[in-house]
Structure 1
Amino acid sequence: MDEKKKLIVLIGPTAVGKTKLSIELAKNFNGEIISGDSMQIYKGMDIGTAKITPEEMEGIRHHLIDVKEPEESFSTAEFQDLVREKIDEISTRGKMPMIVGGTGLYIQSAIYDYHFTDAPSDPGFRRKLEDEAEEKGLAFLHEKLDRIDPVSASRIHPNNVRRVIRALEIVHCTGKTAAELQSEQSPELLYDTALVGLMMEREQLYRRINLRVDLMLEQGLLEEVQYFYDKGLRECQSIQAIGYKELYDYFEDKVSLDEAIENLKQNSRRYAKRQLTWFRNKMNVEWFDMSESYDAEKKFAEISKFIEGKLKIKANT
């Protein structure tokens, strides 16, 4: 049997400090970074997704950033394919692949042996749904999905009719939702993986999130979102990202700017909480506390030692 390729995965909630640490780890382990963020894939969405800047990269090569136009859709299965290709390519060049990000479902799908295509299909049922979409509109079909599989509905944009129909078809054929089918699988890790999670005392993390939003606004977040709004981007997957949808409400006079900013902060805090819950429930993660009282050098050494032990490798230092 082929030996599994080695992989470092660095996860954690928004604003916990993944970006800075990932660069230090990449230097230490001769790594290249694959973005594990579902929104950094989009071109031009730089400030709102806290995309790493060329200066912050410090010469470390990054992958899966700026590869889609904002009007394009992007699925978990597509991410899975792209990440696995990149892991192979980076490993072949003798470098250490590192996935860094906070989109739990995406990362999980890439590193575990999940199968999205195993559920049976019913072409007749699919045609019936296609007719319904034609006659009654895409929103009607998405509402139907929301009633029977709210988890899938929350992940799939109403305009992505192919995925909405597939989710409905899975329930029709199996009597179970996609998430229920996935939870029944006992997938194994495809790679020899060091799974590092960063966490932080909640109040401290929430304070950092609020400060990050203020900084984004100083950096020009309002202008960035206004650009997409003026371009006429509306019903796209990309615009559902936190930071964009809240400011769209402001541009559409639904809320004041202060309310939009407060909503953005609140939604970011809630997202961080969901991220932590997801990672704790779904993945076997080694957690490291990054609360501000920690000694940065000591914590970096601790994480590096864990990776060395897990992957049976030696760091550069």
Structure 2
Amino acid sequence: MGPTGTGKSDLGVALARELDGEVVNADSMQFYRGMDIGTAKLAPEERGGVAHHLLDVLEVTEEASVALYQEQARAAIDAVLARGRVPILVGGSGLYVRAALDRLEFPGTDPRARAEIEEDLARRGRSALLAELREVDPESAERVADDRRLVRALEVHRITGRPFTSFMPRREYVRPAVQIGLGGPRGALNERLARRVDRMVERGLPEEVARLDAVGLRRGRTASRALGYRQFLEVLDGLSTVEAAAEATTTATRRLAKRQVTWFSADPRVEWTDFREPPEEQLRRALRRIAEAG
């Protein structure tokens, strides 16, 4: 795990080859068929003969779901273990990683209860509903930043009888795991990300976006917001140039990397390795940490 552009996919393959493992994807944008260049998805010939799971499982018009991913990822991990092999979870989507590894519940939804709460919000106002939430879930009441979160917190309490905060993730593995993070100096990573975006454009990112636009990319609530795809849709609309879109993608990617560093750095269980190290040294360090964990 770690920020985008640090070489997680390559290290995952190397670990899988060394440990007789299989890779389980934890990059939410690599779920999508056809989103290859802009997500830096390894091509089949780059996977070193290693089986990869949960790649190319969604159309660009479909919406990704963390709750569904949790089910699919844990099923994939169980299947790899049942084959006597080692599952290697690889990706930088922090919540998806936590969903696969940690004790994390997802409360259901009830359209009728939500509609009732939304109607109540329109009739009585935010302050009245916030007061109601304070009675049953004071911690959530202090955190809700908008009406959508207010409605969701009340919905969860009505359908489960539990405060929304009781569903917050805990740093407690559902099964033993070792987390290897790839990171390094921000300046070096920013330079690397700029070069990476340039390579994506050279490899045909604008053409990939055009192909996906023809099959409904704009209708996808998740896929259409992916870095690079959103910016190059503006090129298709005549609102931007390829150069400007590339620059905007680089800026947005650097911001994403910063958020990812913040997310993963907050987890004391992550063992960090410098992405600038030679691949063989990264592999050696990762294998040593896995051996130490038993």
After TM superposition, the score normalised by the length of structure 2 is 0.82
Q: Structure 1 residue 173: deviation in Å? A: 5.5
State the match for 2:273 in structure 1. Answer: 288
Does the 8 A contact of 1:196 with 1:288 survive in 2?
yes
Does the 8 A contact of 2:30 with 2:55 survive in 1?
yes
Mind listing any 5+ residue stretches in structure 2 that lack a counterpart?
121-142
1:203 paired residue among 165, 168, 187? 187
Q: CA RMSD in A?
A: 2.8
Q: 1:215 to 1:84 in 2, by over 3 A?
A: same
- Mapped to 2, the partners of 1:209 and 1:193 lie a distance apart of 29
Provide the secondary structure at the position in 2 that maps to 1:15. Answer: coil
Q: Structure 1 residue 251: deviation in Å? A: 1.7
Q: Structure 1 residue 231: deviation in Å? A: 3.4
Q: 1:202 to 1:114 in 2, by over 3 A?
A: same
State the match for 2:115 in structure 1. Answer: 127
Does the 8 A contact of 2:118 with 2:151 survive in 1?
no
State the match for 1:252 in structure 2. Answer: 237
State the match for 1:69 in structure 2. Answer: 59
- Mapped to 2, the partners of 1:284 and 1:149 lie a distance apart of 28
Structure 1 residue 235 corresponds to structure 2 residue 219: yes
Does the 8 A contact of 1:113 with 1:188 survive in 2?
yes
Which is further off, 300-309 or 100-109? Answer: 300-309
- Mapped to 1, the partners of 2:229 and 2:209 lie a distance apart of 6
- Mapped to 1, the partners of 2:192 and 2:37 lie a distance apart of 16
- Mapped to 2, the partners of 1:217 and 1:18 lie a distance apart of 21
- Mapped to 2, the partners of 1:131 and 1:42 lie a distance apart of 36
Q: Percent identity?
A: 35
Q: 1:204 to 1:273 in 2, by over 3 A?
A: same
State the match for 1:144 in structure 2. Answer: none
Mind listing any 5+ residue stretches in structure 1 that lack a counterpart?
1-10, 133-147, 154-163, 313-317
- Mapped to 2, the partners of 1:303 and 1:220 lie a distance apart of 34
- Mapped to 1, the partners of 2:247 and 2:209 lie a distance apart of 16
1:127-146 maps to which residues of 2 (within 5 A)? 127-128=115-116
Does the 8 A contact of 2:117 with 2:155 survive in 1?
no
1:199-243 Cα distance to aligned partner (Å, 9 max, x none): 022111111111111111111110000112233431312111111
Q: 1:122 to 1:92 in 2, by over 3 A?
A: closer
1:297 paired residue among 280, 283, 286? 280
1:186-197 maps to which residues of 2 (within 5 A)? 186-197=170-181
1:1-317 maps to which residues of 2 (within 5 A)? 11-117=1-107, 124-128=112-116, 168-171=151-154, 174=157, 181-183=166-168, 186-236=170-220, 237-282=222-267, 284-291=269-276, 294-310=277-293, 312=294
After TM superposition, the score normalised by the length of structure 1 is 0.77
Structure richer in helix, relative to its length: 2
1:73-104 Cα distance to aligned partner (Å, 9 max, x none): 12100110000000110000000011000000
Does the 8 A contact of 1:43 with 1:70 survive in 2?
yes
Count of residue correspondences:
268
